[in-house]
Amino acid sequence: MSPSSHILLARQPIFDQHQKVIAYALLSSDADVSRLVAPSPDEDSLSSAMLLDAYTSISDQGEVKKVAAFLPISLSLLLKTGLPSLPKKQVVLDISLRGFDLNSAGKILVPLIKEGYRLCLSDIPDPQLFAPLLKHAYILKVAVRGLNNQEILEASRPYWEFKRPMLASGIDDYAALETCIEQHFRLFQGNFLSQPRAIKGQKAKANQLIMLQLIQSLHDPNVSPETLEKLIIQDPVLTYKLLRIVNSAAYALVREIESIAQAVVLLGLEQVRKWATVISLDAQSGKPEELTRTLLTRGHMCELIAQKQRRPNAAAYFMAGMMSGIHLLLDLDKDSMLEQLPLAEDIIQALAEGTGPMGELLTQVMAYESGDWDLLPTDFNAALFEQTYRESLKWTQESMQALNE
């Protein structure tokens, strides 16, 4: 990615042991992310508050709530510029101690603790040496990426005596998550949701096959609006939830839609097809809400960018984004999922190979949401991606609210 004056911002969930989101770590292309969310005397302070709200507001089982934001802040930067005034109840300062001794770190951090800021400390050179500081930390973070079970135990043991909540970061699969739960960790961060609990070649279960057959019928290119309506109204729950969605704030329609036939006429076949698919998947998964949240955000971001770039069939981009994680919802490996779920050729190409216009955009959106800025192309439109990501977070919150009502 080429240098850009436009700062990129994404988020990564932090979970409790039940895989409920309790906070988001903000990922930024700028070293001083704290100034993005700090009110400025020169600007409208509402804008910074709205930015923080956009990245920390979620719909949880139909209830809108705000969770904490973990802000990565460099000690070196704090030493040079100090800390801008931040909303203490909404943020946790995520600070690495690497390269600092107790005295120099304490001079910077102890005043912040006294002011009421909550600190998450990581990269601690010597837990015993830093004990006077660690006992006042809000959270202690331990990196576990690439460690085996015994190494995770050895990495966590030095912090037990401080009786502070421990956060395991860099958890890349469910096996590592289970080990961390066993080893006294309370909070969990990583990409484990992007890995299926799957056996290679595993087939879909009977109830999943019914759902896959429904999705296959929904995406039949020859299906008529009348046939689609008959297909949907056979399932009362699907019908009810679909009408809730299309009448929600996500669409902001002037008049209420009372039937599937009306929805097809007013919103179009692709929008109805899209939401029938989402509801069918959500009903089957039994997975953490964050996975559905991620896939909806990804799908909507793909669709928005396709619309703004005037690409043909933008709704198909939503399906590519959503379908990129269907195997995770069903605990199937991706190859098995693609074998069992006939999709349009361009969507299959995007999912299997990441190629073609759809595959290339999907790959870029996934890089953005992971904070992998260096994987983005040099002609990447930073302003467009940041705007559509933020809009997609809001749209997903409104949609999931309606989905759970």
pTM of the predicted protein model: 0.87
pLDDT at 167: 99
The predicted pLDDT at position 3 comes to 41
Give the model's pLDDT for residue 32: 63
CATH 1.10.3210.10: which residues of the chain? 206-403
- What is the CATH code for 9-194? 3.20.20.450
Q: 3-state SS of the chain?
A: CCCCCCCCEEEEEEECCCCCEEEEEEEECCCCHHHHCCCCCCCCHHHHHHHHHHHHEEEECCEEEECEEEEEECHHHHHHHCCCCCCCCCEEEEEECCCCCHHHHHHHHHHHHHHCCCEEEECCCCCCCCHHHHCCCCEEEEECCCCCHHHHHHHHHHHHHHCCCEEEEEECCHHHHHHHHHCCCCEEEECHHHCCCCCCCCCCCHHHHHHHHHHHHHCCCCCCHHHHHHHHHCCHHHHHHHHHHHCCCCCCCCCCCCCHHHHHHHHCHHHHHHHHHHHHHHHHHCCCHHHHHHHHHHHHHHHHHHHHCCCCCHHHHHHHHHHCCHHHHHCCCHHHHHHHCCCCHHHHHHHHHCCHHHHHHHHHHHHHHCCCHHHCCCCCCHHHHHHHHHHHHHHHHHHHHHHCC
CATH of domain 206-403: 1.10.3210.10
pLDDT at 207: 62
For CATH 3.20.20.450, the residue range(s) in the chain are: 9-194
Higher pLDDT: 399 or 127? It is 127
- For 285-326, the pLDDT digits (tens) are 677 889 989 999 999 999 999 999 999 989 889 989 988 998
Mean of pLDDT values over 197-208: 60
The answer on pLDDT for 114 being more than 70 is: yes
